[in-house]
Amino acid sequence: MKLYDVVGTDKNLCFSPNVWKARLALNIKELKFETIPLRFDEIAPVIGPMIPKGKAATVPVLVDGDNVIHDSYEIVQYLEESYPATQRILFGSRAQDAFFNTWFALSFQRPMYQLTALDQLELLDEDQKEYIRRTRKEMIGMSLEELANYHPEAARESAQRSLEILAEFLSSFDYLAGDHPGWPDIVTAAHFTWVLRLNKATFQEIVLDDASPSIQNWWHNMQRYVY
C-alpha cells in the first residue's frame, strides 16, 4: 500500500493531521505501507488526476492495488472492510464518528490551529511558506499573523475545556472508543501529534501540563501507534 503524505523541509515529517489519522489507523492494524511525500504545491498536480473530478485534491490518499481511497475516514472504513482479520478500529456508527469530528474540529482543532498558525511556517521551505501564507489567507480571510493574534486567550480556553471533556470521559474508559483505540482516538492522537510536531512548548503547556492523569495515561498508550 502507498500513502500520499504532505511534508515540509523535513521529508520524514508527516505534516497533516489528516494524514496522521490514516497512519495511526494503518499502524493500529499493523498494516505495512510506503509513504509518498509531497510538498504542498505538489498535492494538486499529483493527487488531482487520481481522484474523481470536482473533489478537492487533498491528502491522505491511499493506493492499495487498484483501489484509490481519498479522505481519512474513507481510508479507515476501507481498511476495516478490506482487512477484517486485523484489529478493529470502528466501533460506533458513522453519525457518531462524524459527531466526534465536528466537536473536535470546532472545540480543539480550530483554536489549536490559531495558536500554532505561525509555527507551521518554521517547518517549510521558503517558497512553500509563501504558498501557505497566500492560500491560508484566501481560506481564512486574514493573514496567519492576524489569526495568531485573534483572541488567543479565548482559543486557549476553548482547547482547555475540550481537554476537560476528554479527561472526564477517559476517567471511565481506557480509550475514547471504549476498550480499544478507534476513530475518536485516531482523531485526537492525530491532532496531538501534529501540535507536538509544530511546537513542543505549546503542546507541553496547553495539552499536557494541565492534562489529567487520565489523558496522560491515554496519550502514553497511544504512543505505540505514532510512527
CA distance 183 to 24: 10
Q: How far is the CB of 140 from a copy of itself (least distance, A)?
A: 17
Q: How far is the CB of 171 from a copy of itself (least distance, A)?
A: 9
Q: How far is the CB of 24 from a copy of itself (least distance, A)?
A: 18
CB-wise, 171 or 223, nearer to a copy of itself?
171
CA distance 18 to 72: 6
Q: How far is the CB of 170 from a copy of itself (least distance, A)?
A: 10
Report the interface residues with a copy of itself, using CB under 8 A.
Answer: 91-100, 102-103, 106-107, 158, 161, 164-165, 168-169, 172-173, 175-179, 184
Q: How far is the CB of 118 from a copy of itself (least distance, A)?
A: 25
CB-wise, 12 or 102, nearer to a copy of itself?
102
CB-wise, 50 or 106, nearer to a copy of itself?
106
CB-wise, 2 or 161, nearer to a copy of itself?
161
Joined grid coordinates for residue 80? 476495516
Q: How far is the CB of 199 from a copy of itself (least distance, A)?
A: 25
CB-wise, 14 or 89, nearer to a copy of itself?
89
CB-wise, 95 or 201, nearer to a copy of itself?
95
Report DSSP letters for the chain, one per residue. Answer: -EEEEE--SSTT----HHHHHHHHHHHHTT---EEEEE-HHHHHHHHGGGS-TTS---S-EEEETTEEEESHHHHHHHHHHH-TTSPP---S-HHHHHHHHHHHIIIIIHHHHHHTTTGGGGGS-HHHHHHHHHHHHHHHSS-HHHHHTSSHHHHHHHHHHHHHHHHHHHTT-SBTTBSS--HHHHHHHHHHHHHHHH-HHHIIIIIISS--HHHHHHHHHHGGG--
